[in-house]
Amino acid sequence: MKFGIATKLFIFFFFFILIFYGTVFDLLIKVQDMSRLSARIVSINHQIAALSENLRDNLIDMDANIKKFKVLKKDQYFDYFETARAAYTGDLNRIISLDAGHRGLPEHSASWIDIHKAYADFTLSRPRDALEKMTGPWIEPPVLTRWLEAIAGARKQNDARIEQSLILINSRSRQVMRNALVGFGISVFVGISGILFITRSMLTPLKKLKSGLKHVSDDNYTHKITIDSGDEFGEVAAAFNDMSRQLKADEEIRSDFIATLSHEIRTPLSSIRESVNMITEELLGPVTEKQKKFLNIAGDEIARITGLLNHLLDTSMLPDGEEKPARIPLDPNLLARDAVKRLSATARSNDITMGCTPLENAPKVMADQKEIMQVLMNLLGNALKFSCEKGQVDVRISRGPGKGYLTFHISDTGPGIPREKQDLIFKKYYRAEEVRKHMDGVGLGLSIARRIILAHGGRIFVKNNDDKGSTFSFTLPVQKKE
């Protein structure tokens, strides 16, 4: 199943929020539970502790007052006894009801109920007149002691229960902390891995799109982007591939048109040249010197246009595919010297000095000899073409960038190239306005050079010289040492 960017984001945030807020909610419930529990312990067990103290005091009061009543026979003491007994009964009942309310706490003790039972039996069987008539003590001293001990025992149990409850709260709070840590850990993990996943799933197609755009801006329309993520990036990639296809088709139509046009012009041009030649060679009758002079001018122009058309035909049909050149190790100094030698006659006729500075101990470059020679010829050809008379053209080789490359520099003393046009000149058919009128060319030399250099894994660029003219540079990978 494939999801769009919005769905991916929704799923990620849904799970992240679910885990994060789930943890917080669970934490809240547990904390609330614990605070209720601790409040109950504090209130119930504290009340029980206070009441049990009263219980003991009342029992002692009862004992003291009944003894006084027996000796002094004053009703007042019997009333005190009754009051203490009522308070005792009330407190005991209250303790039992509080004790029974211990839900969720350790088992409540049966001691209070035992005490209550023993006391109820005792009071029921001893109403006021029975007590008055009694000659001995109202209660046997050992029984009283047992009751007091039972109360003390039950109080101890109550204290123990408070302690147990505190231990329980402590262990619960530790468990809450553990759960919270695990929950937060999971939400941090989900958060980080979600962010990584989403970033990756956006960055990868963006990188591919960027490289695709770079290819298009380098006039390479055969590059295809493959993004099968099924989201919006996939749609953009499909639209991009469509655009490339369209551009490639347009490019083919343009090249075909140029080729057809050149061909159509070349054929009548060659019959014109033939005719002019026949007239010049006086095959059709004598011609005057003046006529010969103009016929020669016409012949030169026809030759120039034919040369231009041939150049256009040769270069416009070059394949622009991505096929890798057959690379072999070549001596860079030899390449440079050979290129300079080939153009030295042209340089001489234009009164331009050519120089070549070899690189000492130069490593071999991995290149296709024919193609690199074409690059050098195009760049040197431009340097000669655009330099004024008495100009200087130099070829230099340097190491770098890095250890894996060498850089060739071709500098001239021509007009240089304005900064804003330095990217344009590598485009197909681009020719600067200043040169269009008075200089031959079709504007393909640099675009061919760039295509070749990129296919070799190098870079080509131009910079203006500090004083005069410009320097074109291109890099080539060097032969790797075994």
List contacts with ligand ATP (CB under 6 A): 311, 378, 382-383, 386, 412, 414-415, 417, 425, 430-432, 435, 441-447, 470
If the CB atoms of residues 24 and 432 are measured against ligand ATP, the closer one turns out to be: 432
Out of ligand ATP, Mg ion, none, what residue 417 binds, judged by CB under 5 to 8 A for its kind, is: ligand ATP
Residue whose CB is less far from Mg ion, 212 or 445: 445
61 or 320: CB nearest ligand ATP: 320
Cα–Cα distance measured from residue 209 to residue 217, given in angstroms and rounded to the nearest whole number: 12
Provide the sign of the torsion angle of the four alpha carbons 170, 175, 176, 178, taken in this order: positive
Is 92 in contact with 118 (CB distance < 8 Å)? no
374 part of the interface to Mg ion, by CB under 5 A: no
DSSP state of 252: H
Residue 59 or 375 having the CB closest to ligand ATP = 375
CB of 368 to ligand ATP, least distance (A): 20
**What is the nearest approach in angstroms of ligand ATP to the Cβ of residue 210?**
26
Residue with the two structure tokens 């209720």: 36
Task: List CB contacts of 118: < 8 A, sequence separation 6 or more.
Answer: 147, 150
Does position 414 interact with Mg ion (CB under 5 A)? The reply is no
444 makes contact, choosing from Mg ion, ligand ATP, none, with CB < 5 to 8 Å by partner type, with ligand ATP
Among positions 165, 382, 407, 470, the unique one binding Mg ion when judged by CB under 5 A:
382
Report the distance separating Cα 428 and Cα 221, nearest Å.
Answer: 13
| Positions 436 through 465 that interact with Mg ion (CB under 5 A) | 445
Q: How far is the CB of 362 from Mg ion (least distance, A)?
A: 26
Residue 430 binding: pick among ligand ATP, Mg ion, none (C-beta 5-8 Å cut-off by kind): ligand ATP
In 73-110, which residue ranges form alpha helices assigned H by DSSP?
Answer: 75-100
Q: Which does 414 bind (CB under 5 to 8 A by kind): Mg ion, ligand ATP, none?
A: ligand ATP
Between strands 365-367 and 328-330, the pairing is antiparallel
The distance of closest approach from Cβ of residue 262 to ligand ATP in the complex, given in angstroms and rounded to an integer, is 13
Decide whether 164 or 306 has the Cβ nearer to ligand ATP: 306
Count CA atoms closer than 13 A to 394's CA, side-chain side: 13
Contact status, residue 3 vs residue 230, Cβ threshold 8 Å: yes
Q: At what angle do helices 141-217 and 111-124 cross, to 10 degrees?
A: 150
How far apart CA 29 and CA 24 sit, in angstroms, is 9
Question: In the 8-state DSSP scheme, what is residue 387?
Answer: S
Residue 446 Cβ vs Mg ion, minimum distance, rounded to whole Å: 6
| Least distance from Mg ion to the Cβ atom of residue 450, Å | 12
Q: Which residue is nearest to Mg ion (CB)?
A: 445
Bridge partners, 356 (sequence order): 395
Q: Is 475 helix (H, G, I), strand (E, B) or coil?
A: strand
Residue carrying the six token digits 């909610």: 25
CB of 441 to Mg ion, least distance (A): 5
Binding partner of residue 4 among ligand ATP, Mg ion, none, CB under 5 to 8 Å per kind? none
Q: What is the smallest separation between the CB atom of 327 and Mg ion, expressed in angstroms?
A: 24
Could you tell me whether strands 353-357 and 392-399 are parallel, antiparallel, or unpaired per DSSP bridges?
parallel
- By Cβ distance, which residue is nearest to ligand ATP? 445
Which lies closer to Mg ion via its Cβ, residue 124 or residue 345?
345
Residue 405 near residue 463 (C-beta atoms within 8 A): no
Residue 365 dihedral angles phi and psi, to the nearest 5°: -105, 150
- Using the minimum distance from each CB to ligand ATP, give the nearer residue, 451 or 456: 451
Our CB check for ligand ATP shows the closer of 444 and 455 to be 444
Q: What DSSP string runs through 50-79?
A: HHHHHHHHHHHHHHHHHHHHHHH--HHHHH
Least separation in angstroms between residue 291's CB and ligand ATP is 33
Residues that bind Mg ion (CB under 5 A): 382, 445
